[in-house]
Structure 1
């Protein structure tokens, strides 16, 4: 099958996308020929959290952020995406398929959108494409789970460091005595005791603190204060 020169650059780009690894160029060309092209400048919103997701959205040139704004207005960067990349793979075929985050370009970028029912017909004809997609969705789920764990743990580290700074200031020393048990502290922070214990263990491994029962020796005040002020 002849591939037009105008499509060739997109075909060659998508060949490097995990979805199309090992898939014939003719199939990738069929995707490009049936896709719509969207072009955006830097720092433009491509999709907004809650928008209907009835398409496959491929980033083929440029880069974009996946951003989540919480009820307090704080913006969390969930993902930093570089071409080539399929966005929102884990929600496309959900019963209520909506974009889970805002998609904002970092620099001028190009996207291809493809009807999801057409893509299903392609997967039904190509086992490699189907297997690639299933693996991609599974990897996306693992990534987002790990990312939220990282954000949650970062917030918990911040709370622990803020607590240690308060103790240092109240007790006028870098060797402090905790005024709460870990169980009480976990309730105070809205965390489980095992999660809190992991934070203290990690801080010890990093050489930031040294634990002896309820006594804590802060060995790196800079680290603790920097994390306490983390935004």
Structure 2
């Protein structure tokens, strides 16, 4: 895999030329890592020592409660950057475990190199600060949802979001119902029960991963 070409397609690094990225790669401080599906990438409590860029595949930030229920707080896809909020913090330990959802390739940039990039390119520094600010905003929204939203509200909001992304009221779930339950922070059985209730109430119909909503996004 060409690290320079892959990084060049990520928004945060588009302010650098291929020649500049190649020079940084040659100087060290940048490593390509590969992870297999279900491989543990980082344990909760591990120190964050790098800025990670997802080049291929997906990772997720997970927590597991005493009943063994998995909650996926965030799913990281190709092009996403992780570690920006931790790398320069006094509290730089992972708050959750990081698990590989699909076979993934990750470019890891050491702290020293990230500092160099910040000093050499103002656009990179601004982009990194924007990522940190966006993460703080998303965390606030996540906490609010966990405190206020029911399973039904969370599920319908997610389905309406899919409708907007896929351009219609009939959508295909991009993940299994088990994975969706984990992402929403509810038990798989509770999610299945809610799907069935919504179908009985005429709000949607479903067959496997195919879901057809019978209510508008404003309902």
TM over 0.5: yes
2:3 matches 1:10:
yes
Shift of 1:94: 0.5
Say whether the 8 Å CA contact 2:3–2:107 is kept in structure 1: no
2:31 matches 1:56:
no
Indicate the SS of the match to 2:60. strand
**CA shift digits 1:2-27 (9 cap, x unpaired):** xxxx6xx3222222323223333333
Give the equivalent residue in structure 2 for 1:142. 137
Shift of 1:119: 1.2
Structure 2 residues without counterparts, runs of 5 or longer: 153-195, 202-219
Equivalent residues in 2 for 1:25-64, closer than 5 Å: 25-33=18-26, 34=28, 35-64=30-59
Shift of 1:153: 2.2
**CA shift digits 1:187-225 (9 cap, x unpaired):** xxxxxxxxxxxxxxxxxxxxxxxxxxxxxxxxxx935x9
Instruction: Pick the structure with greater CA Rg.
Output: 1
TM-score of the superposed pair, with normalisation by structure 2: 0.62
Shift of 1:139: 1.1
Which of 72, 77, 82 is 1:77 aligned to? 72
Say whether the 8 Å CA contact 1:31–1:114 is kept in structure 2: no
Shift of 1:65: 1.3
The root-mean-square deviation of aligned C-alpha atoms, in Å, is 2.7
User: What is the rounded CA distance, in whole Å, between the counterparts of 1:69 and 1:146 in structure 2?
Assistant: 20
Give the equivalent residue in structure 1 for 2:212. none
Say whether the 8 Å CA contact 1:36–1:113 is kept in structure 2: yes
Specify whether residues 30 and 102 from structure 1 end up closer, same or farther in structure 2 by C-alpha distance, changes over 3 A only.
farther
User: What is the rounded CA distance, in whole Å, between the counterparts of 1:48 and 1:71 in structure 2?
Assistant: 17
More displaced stretch, 63-72 vs 85-94: 63-72
Number of equivalences: 157
2:197 matches 1:222:
yes
Say whether the 8 Å CA contact 1:59–1:83 is kept in structure 2: yes
